[in-house]
Amino acid sequence: MKKSPLARQHCSVAQTLALVGEWWTLLIVREAFFGTRRFGDFQARLGVARNILTRRLNALVAAGILSRHEERGRGGPVAYRLTESGRDLLPVIIALLQWGDRWIYGQDAAPARIVEAATGKDVAPVSVRAEAGQTLMPRDLLAVAGPGADEAERARFAAMQEEAADRRRARQS
């Protein structure tokens, strides 16, 4: 995978992007969610060169997002499946898809719909929710230092919270 100064950032968003943020990577994961398992099918559906696809599939296996299996049937003995961590990317993929439906294509021109298999109904918009279940907006959230933050990071989060509190006071006055 591409290395960048970002790969050194102590941040779960940056590290996840370092792992899955390459153009092709998340689309291979999307295809796997849609049910694709064979090299030839990935290639046909993504329109990607064999050497690039080989590299990406190997990277996804190395990252533990896909696993490689022997599987009889159409298209050779090898099949790829999402692992538990790969399946856990579902909310990322669906959130990206819904954003594009809304802001790029418009709902009336969405190329695909993701439905609940049992009912055929569209899934709900992916949202950030409180423990109790209500949807939260950006203004309802606060980023605070996590258990892995060092001294400098704690100071930085504290400064950001200070600024956010200043802005709240400014809005209210």
Rounded Cα–Cα distance for residues 125 and 120 (Å) = 15
Pick between residue 66 and residue 93 the one whose CB is nearest to a second copy.
Answer: 93
**Minimum CB distance to a second copy, residue 158 (Å):** 12
**Minimum CB distance to a second copy, residue 55 (Å):** 15
Element (H, E) at 79: strand 78-82
Place of tokens 């990577």: 25
| Site membership for a second copy, residue 54 (CB under 8 A) | no
Rounded Cα–Cα distance for residues 162 and 102 (Å) = 34
| Site membership for a second copy, residue 5 (CB under 8 A) | yes
Residues of span 120-149 touching a second copy by CB under 8 A: 120-131, 133, 136-149
| Site membership for a second copy, residue 61 (CB under 8 A) | no
Number of chain residues interacting with a second copy (CB under 8 A): 96
Q: Cβ distance 25 to 57 under 8 Å? A: no
Place of tokens 């990322």: 92
What tokens appear for 169 in the block? Answer: 């006071």
| Site membership for a second copy, residue 81 (CB under 8 A) | no
| Site membership for a second copy, residue 77 (CB under 8 A) | no
